[in-house]
Structure 1
């Protein structure tokens, strides 16, 4: 009896082995196929996969997310002043290419510019000699805006003649004897272009507008 039981178990095990390995498929006995060959074909380098250790997983969780790319904030830009003819050409270019409300052309006044002036000198050597003298006295100077006054130097610029006269008196106490007050640039009136919120897209459009700007630089609004 025990022999028959052992023999039955051996036959059962042999049959199960043959069934699971497809040896009985020709006789209609085989387990259902679970494989999905189409998914296997879609795998990319499955041999490169590996399980992370708990320490590696924690490190990845704690890594900060990359910061978003910084966006440049819009800025207020202005240019001018433009005379009537320049303003007309500029307005036409703005109206054809720039969004409504992104720009304004407004009347503005640029005050006169008074300076404490030294010159004209008859040569560059004389000008350089005066620069050396002023440095020795500790007096600062600047380049002239009006080329018609050169060769010469400005010891400072002011919006009124009275203010310039006061600074001339101060310069005299420091040893400056040959300076005087002159009007370097008279008051001017015209149209001022203002772009209150110029972003990157608007700044790109300004390249095409350069001919209408008549050489006047765009700068931060005052």
Structure 2
């Protein structure tokens, strides 16, 4: 008898708990208290606050995989420059390259020397003064002991001056190139990607075994 009462009491207790937990007894003021966890709520992700960002490591990796480099062609003469410009226009991205004309004048000197000593140099200066040759100047340090009879911007002027000196009795004068003239065209690519470098490799036969080099 006692066992039956115990079983019945447990059954009724379970039924009561189930009704209480589900809020079925709220009308009689019997209901579980709402559980609030503000700390847990604060830790929840808020989708509206999320923003897409590019990882700097990914950018660096992309740059390593596809780096760019400034490249400069060798100095090209007019004919070769025209061929390379046509190839660049056809095979390289628009705006990725530019032609840089180079026109640096040279310098030539009408020179007499080197003399064995200062005495020989002084004697030659006196001979030139008797011939009324002007100007007579000391040659640059690397050409001492010697004399300069003038500096010229092109080889033709220097040759004409030499002919005049010889006509006036000057012997053993010679033309020395102090700085050669530089004329031609460079093709410059400021940001050469791997794809551009592959296209440049195809142009090597036109460059006659020359290659683009890093910009200095």
Q: TM-score range by the shorter chain?
A: 0.3 to 0.5
TM-score normalized with structure 2 length: 0.39
